[in-house]
């Protein structure tokens, strides 16, 4: 029972990471119908920037903020690279984002080297105690979940109550109509990518203490975040968070009871199942293809 509880709580913490990656994918997908495969690479890169900042200044929170800012800048920069691919066949955009991913991984290898580096956690990673029993969840896990939830809520508030959020929604609904209404669609898309880069950077900084930092460190996290977004329906932010939670908990049971090195395989099985049974996801509005 204790073990089950530990796995559940640990799963929630990992699930929030997948949710954050999923959210960043959904943000870009809604606006541009592009799936940003470079998201994991961007998060890896900004985590390196955070690590360098922390090593130089000794201040974790400065590194944290710098990483988020760098994520926003990197996201906006990637949008500029990808923009010309938008009016080409969809496959071209997919290949360009994969190009961005491998470019960032190569650059990280050139600049920072390929060795595994450890990354500090914001808070203690020893288990919290309730009375005399030690839980399988640490203060840092609570911080991870809270940070992603806060980011998701901030996004929700922004979409609902600010004019920038309204412009983002209008552009996602129909770029042509938004343009006719006087919205500068190009700028709105850049803003969307910057927000996605920020959320991705958050995920990178939060997850890396429990993995290691190396140029490919976000590959497996990214594919699971993608799975979370697909489970949620790919165009629903709430769906991405739900999908992340479900995936995190299920994978943590599978990893805990059956072997941790099989987690990507179970992720693959989960993705295949969802795509076969319900391709539009839990909360997606997309119709499945006709032929």
Partner 1 sequence: MTLLRHLAVAIIVGALLAVASVTLNSFRDFQMAEVATYVTAVAGLTILIGLSGQISIGHGAFMAIGAYAAALILMHLNWPLVAVLAASAAIAAVAGLVLGVAAARLRGPYLAGITLLLAVALPSLATRFAGTFGGDQGLGVNVTTPAFLGPSFPLTRWQAWVACAAALITLVLLANLARSRVGRSWRAVRDDETAAALAGLNVAWLRILAFAVSAACAGLAGALLGITTTLVSPGSFTVTLSIALLTGAVLGGLGTLPGAVWGSLVIVLVPTYVTDVATSHGLSSSVAANIPVAAYGVVLIVVMLVFPAGIQGAVRRLLGPAAPSAGGPIGSLRRRVPARDNPEEGAS
Interface residues with partner 1 (CB under 8 A)? 29, 33-35, 37, 81, 84-85, 87-92, 94-96, 98-110, 113-115, 172-177, 215-216, 219-220, 223, 226-227, 230, 234-235, 259, 261-265, 267-268, 271-272, 275-276, 279, 285-291
In this complex, which beta carbon is closest to partner 1, that of residue 145 or of residue 224? 224
CA distances 210 to 10, 122, 148, 160, 225, Å, are 11, 12, 16, 34, 16
Q: How far is the CB of 48 from partner 1 (least distance, A)?
A: 13
In this complex, which beta carbon is closest to partner 1, that of residue 147 or of residue 172? 172
Q: How far is the CB of 273 from partner 1 (least distance, A)?
A: 10
Tokens describing residue 214: 């190396």
Work out the number of other CB atoms within 10 angstroms of the CB of residue 191. Answer: 22
Contact 123, 143 (CB under 8 A): yes
Q: How far is the CB of 240 from partner 1 (least distance, A)?
A: 14
In this complex, which beta carbon is closest to partner 1, that of residue 7 or of residue 37? 37
In this complex, which beta carbon is closest to partner 1, that of residue 130 or of residue 176? 176
Q: How far is the CB of 164 from partner 1 (least distance, A)?
A: 19
Q: How far is the CB of 276 from partner 1 (least distance, A)?
A: 6
What is the distance of C-alpha 268 from the center of its chain?
A: 17
DSSP state of 213: B
d(CA 196, CA 275): 24
CA distances 278 to 133, 212, 215, 271, Å, are 41, 34, 34, 10
In this complex, which beta carbon is closest to partner 1, that of residue 99 or of residue 209? 99
């Amino acid at each position: 029972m204790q073990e089950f509880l530990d796995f559940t709580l640990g799963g929630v913490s990992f699930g929030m990471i997948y949710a954050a990656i999923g959210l960043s994918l959904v943000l870009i997908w809604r606006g541009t119908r592009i799936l940003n495969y470079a998201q994991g690479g961007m998060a890896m890169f900004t985590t390196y920037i955070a690590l360098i900042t922390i090593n130089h200044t000794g201040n974790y929170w400065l590194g944290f903020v710098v990483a988020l800012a760098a994520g926003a800048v990197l996201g906006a920069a990637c949008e500029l690279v990808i923009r010309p691919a938008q009016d080409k066949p969809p496959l071209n955009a997919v290949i360009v984002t994969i190009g961005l991913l491998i470019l960032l991984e190569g650059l990280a290898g050139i600049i920072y080297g390929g060795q595994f580096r450890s990354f500090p956690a914001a808070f203690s990673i020893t288990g919290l105690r309730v009375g005399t029993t030690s839980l399988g969840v640490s203060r840092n896990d609570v911080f991870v979940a809270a940070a992603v939830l806060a980011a998701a809520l901030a996004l929700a508030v922004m979409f609902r109550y600010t004019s920038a959020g309204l412009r983002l929604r209008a552009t996602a609904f129909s770029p042509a109509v938004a343009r006719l209404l006087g919205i500068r669609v190009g700028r709105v898309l850049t803003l969307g990518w910057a927000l996605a880069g920020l959320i991705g950077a958050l995920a990178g900084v939060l997850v890396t203490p429990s993995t290691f930092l190396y140029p490919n460190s976000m590959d497996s996290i990214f594919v699971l975040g993608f799975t979370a977004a697909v489970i949620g329906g790919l165009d629903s932010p709430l769906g991405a968070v739900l999908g992340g939670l479900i995936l995190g908990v299920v994978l943590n049971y599978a990893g805990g009871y059956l072997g941790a090195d099989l987690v990507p395989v179970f992720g693959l099985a989960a993705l295949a199942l969802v795509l076969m049974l319900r391709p539009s996801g839990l909360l997606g509005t997309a119709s499945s293809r006709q032929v």
